[in-house]
């Protein structure tokens, strides 16, 4: 999202959040994910670990069953990642799961000073 008044996620290509983070810890141990892989991992609640199979074998977008449009095949909870932000700024994000895009939204911002 570009700001908290929006109701739809910003496409990865237009987002700046992923350009300014480093992985400190991630549940599957592969801290060498690039920004795109990290975004895929978090957007899929850990269903996918990365985009390409040579980086994460059978957990990639290339090898796993396609993500359901309603995220019904995504894990119920995300096992986690600890990120270090490398640049000051305000980073807006949202959860699309259980979001009606009108009266029930799950949005927040991280402010790095």
What is the reported pLDDT for 51? Answer: 94
What is the reported pLDDT for 63? Answer: 95
- Its domain, for residue 74, covers 12-87
Candidates 64, 63, 14, 58; CA nearest to 39 is: 14
Q: Which tokens hold the place of 65?
A: 């069953």
Candidates 55, 14, 54, 64; CA nearest to 34 is: 55
Quote the pTM value: 0.83
Q: Considering the domain boundaries, does residue 112 fall inside one? A: no
Q: Considering the domain boundaries, does residue 47 fall inside one? A: yes
Q: Considering the domain boundaries, does residue 97 fall inside one? A: no
Q: Considering the domain boundaries, does residue 99 fall inside one? A: no
Total domains, the chain:
1
Residue ranges of the chain whose pLDDT lies below 50: none
Sequence-ordered strand ranges (E) for 1-113: 21-26, 81-85, 89-95, 106-112
β-pairing, 81-85 vs 21-26, is antiparallel
Q: Considering the domain boundaries, does residue 67 fall inside one? A: yes
What is the reported pLDDT for 38? Answer: 94
Candidates 92, 113, 112; CA nearest to 4 is: 92
What is the reported pLDDT for 101? Answer: 61
What is the reported pLDDT for 35? Answer: 93
């Amino acid at each position: 999202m570009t700001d908290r008044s929006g109701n739809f996620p910003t496409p990865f290509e237009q987002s700046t959040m992923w350009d300014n983070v480093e992985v400190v810890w991630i549940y599957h141990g592969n801290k060498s994910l690039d920004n795109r892989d990290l975004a895929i991992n978090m957007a899929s609640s850990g269903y996918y670990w990365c985009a390409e199979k040579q980086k994460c074998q059978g957990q990639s977008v290339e090898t796993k069953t396609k993500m359901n449009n309603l995220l019904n095949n995504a894990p119920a909870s995300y096992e986690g990642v600890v990120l270090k932000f490398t640049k000051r700024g305000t980073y807006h994000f949202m959860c699309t799961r259980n979001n009606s895009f009108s009266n029930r939204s799950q949005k927040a911002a991280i402010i790095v000073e």
